[in-house]
Amino acid sequence: MSDYIKDKKIEDINIGIIGFGYIASCVYSLIREQRDYLAKKIKKNINIARIAEKDLKKIDSSSLAGLKDIKISSSASDVLQDESIDIVVELVGGIDPAYDYVHEALSSGKYVVTANKDLLANKGGDLFAAAEKNNVDLLFEASVGGGIPIIGPLKSSLASNNINEIIGIVNGTTNYILTRMEKDNLSFDEALKKAQELGYAEKSNPSSDIEGYDSACKLAILSSIAFNSRVTLKDVYKEGITGVSSDDIRNALDMGYRIKLLAIGIEENSEISVRVHPALIPADHILASIEDTFNAVYVYGNYVGEMMSYGRGAGDRPTASSVVGDIVKIARNFDRNKKGIIYGCSCFENKKFKSIDDTVSKFYILMDVVDKPGVLARIAEVFGKNSVSIESMVQKQRDKKKSAGLIFITHEVVNKNLSKSIKDISELDVVNEVLSVIRVEDLS
């Protein structure tokens, strides 16, 4: 025990952790290693008093010093019903039973810290209502961007700004896959396998990452805060990266673009558009330089202008850093007899959502066509009938005989018009296959 703690006899803030996987074990180690340092900073002792883990085999007291001094059990109720616990740290993940744990903790007047993006993106409204009713708070910095500070700044430092746009690369797995496809000339399947071997993607079911679910949850959370209106997972349009080919990567580079999986939230005229999809972005834009497992979130505010948060978006140490950061926010001014809300829910409006069909984008289109005169004219006729204007077109010879590859970049077009064009073009007898349709974001 440090001299500071001995001399000052400062107050203990008791922590109960539910779920003890690799993130929680890192949270434990961080608090233990930095205990004296944090006590000097906030004039409080952060004291882990209880741990609940359904699978007790995960808790190895021989490898984590000090665990034998902590009350450990397999029941979350032991944490939730312990009146001495001030802050519950939920690291179970998923919605069930995490929702019940968090709701019970808030309802009993305990503060909660979580890294659970699925829970916040689906059930956040109910949980914030429970927190407000009991004059406590739910903090969740680690739910988006791992160790990158973005939730706190949106709720505090940028609170005076009207935020009208958020653009981010918020999934390290997909960013790694796209980077390796480009740098190592790998196919999607080859890059995915490499990500799985390194532990960046789940081996059994990587769909949450590669199909855009993970990014959509994070975008729902960020947009709810930025636009002051509840955005849930079901409100977010999402496409994954499984359809991105090596040809798309090379074609994009040839045209001065790189392909990234973007999470985009825009508010315009009190209407919200939220979408996750791969996009061609200019190679000289700062977001195009974000590689491998790194994340970045771009925010546009009416006073601050544009700003970007950047760092490692996943991993036990960055995530644990954000979890403990939230614990510190609560502990710094903690008063057991007079609790209060730190940030609270910022969703005080109820804005409409714009359908993906009505949004406007530029598009990259790659198609395989019969190599003979008149093909381009027939395709152009379909585009024209559907009010799609072409910015540029490149023809590339395909490997197959009598086959050509056509690459189009459209001007901005209403999405439903583009979709109708692609459907009609796919039915032409001179078109073998529409291989790729990917949005283009010029990102001024």
What is the arithmetic mean of pLDDT over 9-23? 93
Kindly state whether residues 140 and 210 are assigned to the same domain: no
Q: In terms of domains, do 292 and 327 share one?
A: no
In a domain, 350, yes or no: no
**Domain for residue 349, yes or no?**
no
Please indicate, yes or no, if residue 231 is contained in any of the structural domains: yes
Do residue 7 and residue 77 come from a single domain?
yes
- Which entry of 44, 110, 218, 362 is annotated as an active-site residue? 218
* Kind of pairing between the strands at 87-90 and 11-18: parallel
Shared domain for 305 and 214, answered yes or no, is yes
- Residues 219-242, mean pLDDT to the nearest whole number: 98
pLDDT band at 6; cut points 50, 70, 90: low
pLDDT tens per residue across span 30-72: 999 999 999 999 999 999 999 999 998 888 776 677 887 899 9
Tell me how far apart the alpha carbons of residues 63 and 67 are, in angstroms, rounded to a whole number.
9
Per-residue confidence (pLDDT) for residue 341, from 0 to 100: 94
pLDDT at 3 over 70: no
Supply the CATH number for residue 20's domain: 3.40.50.720
Q: How far apart are CA 408 and CA 379, in angstroms?
A: 11
Among candidates 223, 238, 217, which has minimal Cα distance to 164?
A: 223
Eight-state DSSP code of residue 58: G
Residue 341 within any structural domain of the chain: no
Distance CA 98, CA 106 (A): 12
**For residue 33, which phi and psi values (nearest 5 degrees)?**
-65, -35
pLDDT at 259 over 90: yes
Which pLDDT score, from 0 to 100, does residue 313 have? 85
Q: State how beta strands 294-301 and 163-169 pair.
A: antiparallel
141 lies in some domain: yes
342 located within any domain: no
Q: In angstroms, rounded to a whole number, what is the distance separating the alpha carbons of residues 206 and 217?
A: 15
For residues 336 and 349, give the distance between their C-alpha atoms in angstroms, rounded to a whole number. 32
pLDDT tens digits along 307-325: 999 998 888 999 999 999 9
Active site residue 420: no
pLDDT, tens only, 284-294? 999 999 999 99
Domain identity same for 321 and 294? no
Amino acid 444: pLDDT? 72
pLDDT at 396: 85
Q: pTM of the predicted model, to two decimals?
A: 0.94
Which pLDDT score, from 0 to 100, does residue 7 have? 52
Same domain, 364 and 284: no
pLDDT at 63: 67
For the segment 154-183, the average pLDDT, to the nearest whole number, is 96
pLDDT at 133 over 90: yes
My answer on whether 89 and 12 are in the same domain is yes
Give the Å distances, CA to CA, from 187 to 170, 219, 294, 429. Answer: 22, 27, 21, 29
Q: What is the predicted pLDDT for the residue at 128?
A: 97
Q: Give the bridge partners for 282, in sequence order.
A: 257
The residues facing 52 across adjacent strands are: 18, 73
Phi, psi of 254 (to 5 degrees): -60, -30
CA dihedral (12, 18, 19, 24) in degrees, to 10, reads -20
- State whether 304 and 182 are in the same domain: yes
- For the chain, the domain total comes to 3
φ, ψ for residue 113, nearest 5 deg: -120, 135
Q: What are phi and psi of 199, to 5 degrees?
A: 85, 10
Q: What is the pLDDT of residues 385-440, one digit of tens each?
A: 999 999 999 998 766 678 899 999 999 999 999 999 999 999 999 999 999 999 99
Instruction: Provide mean pLDDT across the span 232-240.
Output: 98
3-state secondary structure of 437: strand
Is residue 125 in a domain?
yes
Closest CA to 122 of 19, 213, 207: 213
Kind and range of the H or E run holding 434: strand 431-440
Classify strands 87-90 and 138-139 as parallel, antiparallel or unpaired.
Answer: unpaired
Residues 132, 171 within the same domain:
no
Residues 14 and 124 in one domain: yes
Domain with 374, as residue range(s), is 359-440
User: Are 65 and 175 found together in one domain?
Assistant: no
Please give the Cα distance from 115 to 113 (Å, whole number). Answer: 7
Do 136 and 157 belong to one domain? Answer: no
Distance (Å, whole) CA 128 – CA 134: 10
Which pLDDT value is given to residue 400?
63
Query: CATH number for the domain including 384?
Result: 3.30.70.260
pLDDT digits (tens, 9 = 90+) for 60-117: 776 677 887 899 999 999 999 999 999 999 999 999 999 999 999 999 999 999 999 9
* Confidence at residue 59, expressed as pLDDT on a 0 to 100 scale: 85
What residue type is 417 in one-letter code? Answer: N
Residue at 347 is within a domain: no
